[in-house]
Structure 1
C-alpha cells in the first residue's frame, strides 16, 4: 500500500498494547541498539558497516556490475567508487570486466575478502544474538520472520525506498 493510500485508511483502534506512535519509538530503539552492536562487530572492516554491506552483497547477491551493486545498496555511484577503491586497496574485492558489457565492471571478492567476510559474519551473528538476548529461540525466529515479511511489504509498496538513507538520518 502506498503512503498516500495509507493516509486514506481509517483505523478504529491503535495497535494492541501500543499508544499511537509507540511503534516508532520501539523500532528506533531496536535499530539504535542494532546499529551500535553492528558497527562494533565490523569495526576493523574498511569502510565499516558500508564496507561489510558491500562485501556481503557481492558474495551473497552477485550483482551483475558495479551499478547494480550501488542500486541494491542505495549508494550513489560517486560515493560507491570511493568505497570500492578502499575495498580494492585493502585486497578484499577486485573489479573485472562485466561478462555482459565490457565497459561495465563487475565486483568480485578475493580470497582475502571471503576470509574476512566469514570472520565478520560470525561477529555480526554474535552481535545480533546479543541484541536478541531478551528473546528465546522461538521468539527470535518468529521476530526474524515477521520483520522479514514486514520489510518486504514496505519494499513492495515503496520500491525506491533506501534503508541505508533511513539509517543515515536517524540523528
Structure 2
C-alpha cells in the first residue's frame, strides 16, 4: 500500500474508537464521584452520631430517655438531623445534592443506651438516571441507594 491509499485511516479509526473512550472516561468519573459521595455520607453520619451520643442524655439519671425524642433531650434529634443534612443547625442547603431530612432515621435503644442513625440516600449520576436500551430492550436504571447506619453508646 502506498502513502496515498492510507490517507485518513487514522481519522476513521479515531472516529470509531471515540465513543468507547468517552464512555470509559465518563464511567470512571461517575464511579469516582459515587465513591466520594459514599465516603462523605459515612463521615457525615459518623459525625452526627458522635454529636447525638453526647447530647442524648440530658437528665441526671445517666440513662437514655425512653422514648428518645426532642422533648426528652432538648431538641437533640432535630439538631442532629440538621447537622447531618445541612452541616449546621437551621441550615437550608444540603451537603449532598438530594439529601433530605426525611432520609434520616434516629432510634434510641434505652436497654443498651445506644443511639442508631440510619440514612437512605438515593445517589443519582450526573448524566441521567437511566441509559437507553438502544432498541435492544428496556432502559437501565443507573441510580442506586446508599444505606449508611451508625450506632454509638450515648453519654460517651
**TM-score normalized by the length of structure 1:** 0.32
Whichever structure has more strand as a proportion of its residues is: 2
Q: Which has the higher helix share?
A: 1
